[in-house]
Amino acid sequence: MKRTKTYTTLFFAGLLAAGATGCKKTFLDTKIDTSPTAQTLNSNYSTLYSYGNAPYVYLRNEFTLIDNNLFAPVSDEAKQTALSSTVMLFNNGSWNASNNPDNYYANYYSGIRAANFFLENSGNYKSFLALNRDTISVTGKISYNNDVLNIAWYRGEAHILRAWYYFELAKRYGGVPLVTKTLSISDNTNIPKASYNDIINFVTSEVDNFKDSLQVNWQTSSFTNNDGRLSKGAALALKARALLFAASPLHNTAGDVKLWQNAASALNDLIVFGEGAGQFALDGDYRNYFLLNNTLTSAETIWAIRYPASNLLEEENYPITTLGGASGITPSQNLVDDYEYASTPDPTNPYANRDPRLAYSIVTNNSTWNGRVINEAPGGTDDMTKSNTSRTGYYLKKFLNDNINIIQGQADVHNFPIFRYGEVLLEYAEAMNEAYGPDNANGYGLSARQSLNMVRSRPGVQMPAVTVSDQTSFRAAVKHERRIELAFEDYRYWDLLRWKDAATVLNQPIKGVTVSENTSGQFTYGTTVVENRVFDHSKMYYYPFPLTEISKSKGILIQNIGW
Amino acid sequence: MKKSIKLIIWALVTLPLGAQVLSAQQKNTSTGVALVDSLKHKEEGPLLNIPDVENVKAQGRVDGSTLYKTPAANITNTLFGQLPGLTVLQRSGEPGYDGASLYIRGLGTYDNSSLAIYVDGFQTTSSYFQYISPAEIESISILKDAAALASFGMKGANGVIWVVTKRGQIGKPKVEVNIVSGLQQAMNIDKPLGAYDYARLYNEAISNDNYSLNGYQFVWTPKYNNQQLQSYQNGTGTNINWFDQVLRKNAPYKDANINFNGGNVTARYTVILDYMNQGGLYDVSNTASTSNAQIQRFNIRTNLDLNFFKIFEANIDIGGRIEDRRYPNYNGPQLWQDLATYPSNIYPVRDSTGHWSGTSLYPNNPVASLHGLGWLGTHDRTLQANFGLKEKLDFITPGLYLKEAASFNTWTRNALSFSSTYARYYEGMQSTTDQQTTIVANGSSPVDQYDWKQSTIKAGYDRNFGENNISAAIEYLASSYITDYSTNNPGLNTGNNIFYHYENLGSELHYSYRARYLLDLSAGYSGSDNYAPGNRWKAYPAIGAGWIVSEESFLKSSIVSFLKLRGSVGLSGNDQTNNGRYLYQQYFTQNGTYYTGDNGLTSNTGVVQSYIANPSITAEKSLKYDAGFDMTLFKKLSVTGDVFLDKRSGIVTNSNDLLATFGGSQPYLNIGRVTNKGFEVSGQYADNAGKLNYTIGASASFAKNIINYQSEIPTVNAFSKTTGLPIGTPMGLVSLGFYNTTDFNSNGTLKAGEPVPAFGAVQPGDIKYKDLDGNGKIDQNDITPIGKSPFPTLTYTFNGALNYNGFDVSVLFQGASGNSVNLLSAAYYQTVAFANNINVYPMAENAWAYYPSQGIDTRATATYPRLSTQANSNNYQASTFWMRSGDYLRVRNAEFGYTFSPAILKKINTESLRIYVSAINPLMWSYLSKHYHIDPETTSGYPALKSYNLGFSLKF
C-alpha cells in the first residue's frame, strides 16, 4: 500500500512536470502572417522591383506643394486668392519652426531610407533574380537578362534619387545630417548636420560614380515604358544644378570663381551629352510644351514626373467665374511688368507686342480663356469686384489645359518637368558668365551669350538677342531670362534666395492691375498694391529645422541662424 | 522555467516530510496534526481557501442577493457602489448594449485597461459576464492588490473580478422563485427647442453671418418673417417634437427565475433557470416588419458537486444561455443623432399625401426610420461548461490534494434582418430617388463567434501544525482562445481566426502563526504568445503580510473587537495592448505608386518596411504597493481601509524618440510609465434598537493617476505637454469671454494689440481665447490642460437599511466626482447650434447678440457665443468655455419590502415569501442635468434608464 502511495505521488508529480514543460515550445507559437514579411518577400524576385520603386514614391508633387497648388505664390510671381491659405504664412513672414507650410523634412529622410534600404538589400541581385525561375530557355533567358539590366539601373537610380533628396534638403535647410545607410532602432539617429559643402560634394560624387550605371535615354531604348525613371541626363543635370547652387552668392560667400567654373564644366558635360546620346533639343511650342503628354515626348525634357489624369489644377486655378474654378494662383503685376516688349508698345493695350511667353503663361484682360473673352472691367464677366476673383487682375495659364469642363469631371494629364533643356541652357549662361564672362566659351561649344540667345530664339518666342557686353549687365539679363522663361516652375523663390536678392525683391509689395472700360469700349488700366510682403533676411534664407527635431535632439542638431 | 519546476516538485515532495518532522516535535502541544477543512465555511478563492479573518489581500465582495436587488438587464449595471475600488461608468441604456465599463482602482495605464473576469475559476469574456443573471451568482469579488493578483501573472495588472456561482447545499430540496416586473423610463432626455424658438434664433444667427457683408455692422436680416413666427407659436406651422414622436414613456422589464437546490454528502445540486425580457423606448411594436429595441435572455445553470470513493470530489458547472436582440433596421446612434439634429419645422411626419416626409437635406425622417426600414435581430448562444476533479491525497500525506479542471466556453452570434425602404415625399412630391419597397427577408447569417478552451492542474497542501497553519497551492493553466471577426480585438495583426494561447503557473503559500501573524507569498509565471520566443515568459512575485493586532494581549479591549493590519507589495503583468500583437515581427507595406511611360502610364508600386519591429517587446509590468486595515469596533461597526500605489512600466507605446533622420515608422516599445495612487475606505454599522434592525454604511474610493512617460512628441510650449497629467486630461484653449464690438476696427479687423486667432475670421460675440505664449497669435501652440480627465477620481456611496417586523427599507446613494465633461465631445449636437443644418438647444438661448432695432442686447449677460448658421471654426474649439463639471450623486436604488411571517407561511408550506417595490435611479443631482438637462454619464445617444419595479421572492 505504501509503495502504491509513493508511486502515485511520483506519477502525479511527473504529470505536473510534463504538463508544465512539455508543450511550451509549440503551444505559444500562434503567429500567422497576413502582411508580407522579409521571408515572403525574399522568395519572390519581383520584390527587388518593389524595393526599387519605393524611393521614387517620395518625390514631391510640384502641382500640390502648397494649398494644393504650385509653389509660385511664395515668391513675387503670384498671389493665392484663397483667404485662409497656408502660403500666407510665408507671405506675411509669420512662418517659423513650429509652423512651416513646406515641412517635408521627415519625408525626404523616408525617401533616403528607402534608397539606402534598396541598395543594401539588392547587392546580390543577379543571383536573387535567378531564384525560382526559368533562366535557361530562350524566352526565360531574355526575361532574366532584362531584369538584370533593369535592377542594375534601379540601383544606379537609387543613388541618384538619394542625391536628389539631399540636394532638395540642402536647398532648403543648408547643411543637413548625412545618412548613407539604413538606420536601425538601435543606431544613433541624433546626427549632427553636415556642412552644405559636404552635402554638395556628396551629391556630385554620387553622380560621378553612378551616372554610367544609368540608362542613357529611355525613349530610344527598348524599355520606353520605363521613361520617367532617372537617366544619365537627369543625373548630370542634378550635378550641374547642385554645383550652380553651391557657386551662388548665398553659399559661395567668398565669391570663389572656381566654384562657378566647376558648375560651368558640369553644365558643359550635360550639354555635350545632350548633343549626343541625350538628344536634347528646345521644344518648338512654349505654350503646348507644358500640356498633356507633350512634356513627355518632347526632346526638351530631361526628366519629368507623371501623374494620372486629373482636373485638380484647373479646378484650383480657373477663374471663379468659370464653373468649378477657384481663381487660386494669380500672377502678379510685378511679373507681368518684367515681360519685355517685342516691338513698339501699344498705348491702348499694354499686353500687345510683348514677349509671347506672357500670353503663353498668363491670362490677361481681354484675352480668350475658358471659351470666353475675359472682361475684368466693372460689369464684365470677370468683374474684379466680385468676391474671389483675381486680386491681381491676372489668371494662371501655364500648365493649365483650356476648356476643361470641371463640373462634368473632364480631366487630362499634367506632367511636371524637373529638368529641361531650356533651363539647362540658362544655367549654363549664368555659370559661364560668372566664370569666364559673356563671350568666353573657354573651349566649350557654347558661350554664355550663345546659350542665352538660344533660349530667346525658340520658335514661337523669337525675342531679340541679348547684346549687353559687361558681366554685370549680362548677369542681370540672365536673371531676367530665368524669371521669364521659368515662371511658375518653382525656380523663382530659390533663385532669389541663392542670389541673395530676396531681401530686396521679396519685401516689395505685390501689385495688381485695375481695369476699367471707358465710354468707347476701350479698356484702361491702372496699378494697385494688392498686398505687402515680408522677408526677414536675417533668417529666412534657410528654412528652420522642425521644432520637434530640435527639441528631441537636445543640442546636437543646431537650428539655423535667427530661428 | 525547468529549474523552477524542479524546485516546486522538490518542495512538494519534501514538505510533507518536513511537516511530519515538525509535527513530531510539537506532539506535546496537544493540537496534533489536523486537516484543515476549508470547504465548509469559506468560499473558493483563486488558489487557496483562506478564511476572511486571515486574509492579507485587498479584496471586496458582494453577495449575489444584494445585486439582485437592482433589477437591471445587464449585471454591470447592478454593480454601482457595491464594491469599493470598482468604478462603473455607464455609457448607454440601449437594451442589449448597455454594458457599463468596469475599472478597478481607476486607470492604471493609457493602453489597454480592461480587467480580467473569472467565473467559477476560469477566465471569460466581458460579454459572457454581462448577461449572467444575478440569480446565478453566489458572490462577486474584486481582487485589487499585488498579493491577490500576482498569481494571475499577465492577466492581473488591471485587477480581477472573481465570480462564484451558487453551489448546492446539503439539505432537503429547496425551491426559490423570484419574479420582478417593472417599467423603465429614460432618466433624462435633453430636448431641443421648438419651431418658434428655432426660427427666432435662426434669424439671429443668419443676421450674425451677414455682419461682414453688411460693412461690419449688425443689421437684422431675418430668414423667418413675423408671419411665420406667429404660425409656429399658434400651432398652425409645422412644429414636430421628434423625441415625442419616436419615443414612448415607459418600457417594460420582466425577470423571472427559479432555483432548485439540494443534496447530500454524496451529491449536491443547484439548477437555476432565468428568463428576462427588456423592451426599449421606441414607440413601435414588434411585428413582422417593425421592431422596438428589445433583448430577451434565457439562462440555465446546473452546478453539481459530487463526492465519491472517499477521495474524489468532482464538480460539473454548466451555465448556458440564449440572448435574442431585436432592433429597428436603422443604426441606433445615428437615430439618436437625427433626433437631436433634425429641426422641428422641417416637415410633418407624414406629408399631405400620407407618405413619409423627407427631403434631400433631411432624408431620414426619424419616425419613418423606425417604421419603414425593417428590423434586424441577433441570436446569441453561449455556454460555459467547467469540469473539475479533485483528489484528496491524505493517504500520501495529510493535507495534500490534486485538482484537474477543464473549461469550455463558446459563443456564437447569428443575425437575421428584414429590410425595406420608403419613398420620401415633401409637399406632395417625391424629394429623393428612394422608392417604397415591401419588406424583404435577408436570411440568417453568422456574424461572430469565439471558442475558449482552458485546462488547469493544481496541487495543494493545507495543513495545521499546532499553531502553524500552512496552505499552499500551485496551479498550471493552459488557455486557447480563438475568435472570428478581426475588429473584435484592437490593434495590428489581429486578423481572423488567430489563436490566442496563454500559459500560467500560479502559486501561493499562506502561512499563519497563532492565527495572528500572517504571511502570504505568491507568484505567477506567465507565458503569452504575443511576444517573441525568449520574451514570452515573465515571473511576477508578491509578498503580503498581516498582523491581527486584536489578538495581542495589549489590545484586548471591548472597543476594538477586531483589528488587522496588512500590507503587500509585488508585481503583476498585462499582456493586452491596444497596439496589436506580434509587434516583434517585421512586416512590409506598400508606400505608394510612381508612374512611368509616355503613351499610357505604367504604375510602379513601392514596398517599404512598415513600423519597425521590436524583437524585445514584452508585457506591461505593474508594481503594486498596498497597505490596509480591517477593523471592527464595538462588534457593530466594521471599517476597512486601503492605500495603494501602482507603478506601471513597460507600457507599449509607439515611440517618438527617434529623429526624422531615421526615415522609417517608429517601433512599439515598452517605454510608457504611469503612476496611480489612491485609497479606499468603507464602513458599515449594524445595530438594532429593540426589534428594529438597521445598518448604515458609507464608502469612498479615490484613485488618481499621472502619466510619467509616453514618448510624447515635443510640444512648442511646455504648458501644452500631456505628460505629467492624468490620463485623458482634455487639452484646449483658455477662454476669456467674448469679443466685444470695441475690440474691432471699423473695417472688421481686430484692434492693434489684440492677439489674432488662427482659426478663422472673428467678429463681436465670438469666443476670445488667451494667447498663452504671448506671440500675438492664438493657435495650436496655446493649448493647455482645460479641465479634469473624464474619468472620475472619487466615487462614494452611502447606504442604509431598516428592518422591522417583516418590513424592510433600504436605499443606496452613489456619487462620483473629479471628472470634467467637454460639452463639444460628449454632447456635440446638443451644444453646437445650427451649423450644418442642425437644431438648436436651450443652451443657446442666451447667446451673444446685439440688435438694438429688435430690442436684443445680451452683450453683458451672454453665456453662449454668437449664433451662426455656418460651421464656425473659432467658437467650437476645445476650450475652457465648454468644460463642465461631471460630478453627480444619484439614488441608485431604493427598496421597500415586506417579508411574511413564518407562521402564516407554514400554512401554505412555503419557507419564506417577500414582496417588494423598488426604484432604480429615481433621483439625481448633478450640475449637467440641472443646467443643461444632460445626464453626466450618458451624455448623448440612448439614455440611461430609471425604473420602478414590483417583485416577489418565494422560497419553499
Contact A224 B597 (CB under 8 A): yes
Please give the pLDDT value at position A121. Answer: 92
| Dist. CA B269–CA B304, nearest whole Å | 5
Contacts of B661 in chain A (CB under 8 A): 109, 177, 179, 183, 189, 191
Nearest to B588 among A37, A413, A557 (CB): A37
pLDDT value at A190 more than 90: yes
| Dist. CA B208–CA B214, nearest whole Å | 10
Residue B615, min C-alpha distance to chain A (Å):
11
For residues A295 and A415, the answer to whether their CB atoms sit within 8 Å is yes
Please give the pLDDT value at position A24. Answer: 47
Beta partners for residue B735, in sequence order: B769
- CA nearest to B614 within chain A: A185
How buried is A539 (Cβ within 10 angstroms: 0-12 exposed, 13-18 middle, 19+ buried)?
middle
Please give the pLDDT value at position B3. Answer: 54
* Beta-carbon contacts below 8 Å between A and B: 216
B10 touches chain A (CB under 8 A): no
Q: How confident is the model at residue B429 (pLDDT cuts 50, 70, 90)?
A: confident
Contacts of B15 in chain A (CB under 8 A): none
Per residue, the 3-state secondary structure of A37-53, as one string, reads: EHHHHCCCCCHHHHHHH
Contact A17 B5 (CB under 8 A): yes
B532 touches chain A (CB under 8 A): no
- CA nearest to A32 within chain B: B498
Q: How confident is the model at residue B11 (pLDDT cuts 50, 70, 90)?
A: very low
Provide the ipTM. 0.91
Strand, coil or helix: B161: strand
CA angle B335, B338, B343 (to 5 degrees): 150
Nearest to B594 among A36, A38, A57 (CB): A57
Cell of B882: 465648454
Contact A31 B529 (CB under 8 A): yes
For residues A132 and A143, the answer to whether their CB atoms sit within 8 Å is no
Nearest to A549 among B395, B493, B659 (CB): B659
pLDDT digits (tens, 9 = 90+) for B867-908: 999 888 899 999 999 999 999 999 999 999 999 888 877 887
Contact B660 A307 (CB under 8 A): no
Please give the pLDDT value at position B22. Answer: 35
| Residue with the larger pLDDT of the pair B447 and A11 | B447
| Residue with the larger pLDDT of the pair B689 and B9 | B689
Contact A549 B1 (CB under 8 A): no
Contact B601 A548 (CB under 8 A): no
Nearest to A185 among B500, B505, B667 (CB): B667
Q: How confident is the model at residue B58 (pLDDT cuts 50, 70, 90)?
A: confident
Please give the pLDDT value at position A278. Answer: 85
Contact A30 B498 (CB under 8 A): yes
- CA nearest to A229 within chain B: B596
pLDDT value at B624 more than 50: yes
pLDDT value at B158 more than 70: yes
pLDDT digits (tens, 9 = 90+) for A426-436: 999 999 999 99
| Dist. CA A244–CA A241, nearest whole Å | 5
Please give the pLDDT value at position B29. Answer: 29
A411 touches chain B (CB under 8 A): no
A484 touches chain B (CB under 8 A): no
Please give the pLDDT value at position A186. Answer: 87
Contacts of A27 in chain B (CB under 8 A): 478, 501, 503
pLDDT value at B693 more than 80: yes
Strand, coil or helix: B223: coil
Nearest to B589 among A32, A35, A117 (CB): A35
Q: How confident is the model at residue B15 (pLDDT cuts 50, 70, 90)?
A: very low
Contacts of A184 in chain B (CB under 8 A): 612
Contacts of A38 in chain B (CB under 8 A): 586, 588
Main-chain dihedrals φ then ψ at residue A399, nearest 5 degrees = 75, -15
| Dist. CA B895–CA A402, nearest whole Å | 80
* Helix axis angle, A448-456 to A421-436, nearest 10°: 150
Q: Name residues 16-55 of chain A within 8 A of B (Cβ).
A: 16-17, 19-21, 23-25, 27-38, 41, 47, 49-55
| Burial track B658-688 (b if 16+ CB lie within 10 A, e otherwise) | bbbbbbbbbbbbbbbbbbbbbbbbbbbbeee
Contact A30 B716 (CB under 8 A): no
Please tell me the least confidently modeled range out of A324-328, B451-455, B482-486: B482-486
Contacts of A141 (CB under 8 A, 6+ apart): A135
Q: How confident is the model at residue B17 (pLDDT cuts 50, 70, 90)?
A: very low
Q: Which of B659, B723, B756 to mutate to test the interface with A (most CBs of A within 10 A)?
A: B659
Q: How confident is the model at residue A246 (pLDDT cuts 50, 70, 90)?
A: very high
Q: Give the whole-number percent of chain B exceeding pLDDT 90.
A: 70
Beta partners for residue B255, in sequence order: B180, B276
Residue B831, min C-alpha distance to chain A (Å):
26
Mean pLDDT across A198-225: 93
Strand, coil or helix: B922: strand
| Dist. CA B284–CA B280, nearest whole Å | 9
Question: How many other β-carbons are positioned within 10 Å of the β-carbon of residue B361?
Answer: 10
- Dihedral over alpha carbons B706, B712, B715, B721 (to 10 degrees): -10
Q: Name residues 586-605 of chain B within 8 A of A (Cβ).
A: 586-602, 604-605
DSSP per-residue letters across B207-218: HHHTTTTTTS--
A296 touches chain B (CB under 8 A): yes
Residue A53, min C-alpha distance to chain B (Å):
4
Main-chain dihedrals φ then ψ at residue B713, nearest 5 degrees = -65, 130
pLDDT digits (tens, 9 = 90+) for B807-821: 999 999 999 999 999
Contact B2 A21 (CB under 8 A): yes
A532 touches chain B (CB under 8 A): no
Contacts of B612 in chain A (CB under 8 A): 184-185
Residue A52, min C-alpha distance to chain B (Å):
7
CA nearest to A447, candidates A434, A469, A429, A423: A429
Contacts of B608 in chain A (CB under 8 A): 51, 54, 110, 113-114, 117
What's the mean per-residue pLDDT of chain A? 91
Contacts of B389 in chain A (CB under 8 A): none
What's the mean per-residue pLDDT of chain B? 89
Please give the pLDDT value at position B81. Answer: 87
Please give the pLDDT value at position B948. Answer: 96
B860 touches chain A (CB under 8 A): no
Contacts of A551 in chain B (CB under 8 A): 714
Q: Give the whole-number percent of chain A exceeding pLDDT 70.
A: 96
pLDDT value at B19 more than 60: no
Residue A164, min C-alpha distance to chain B (Å):
16
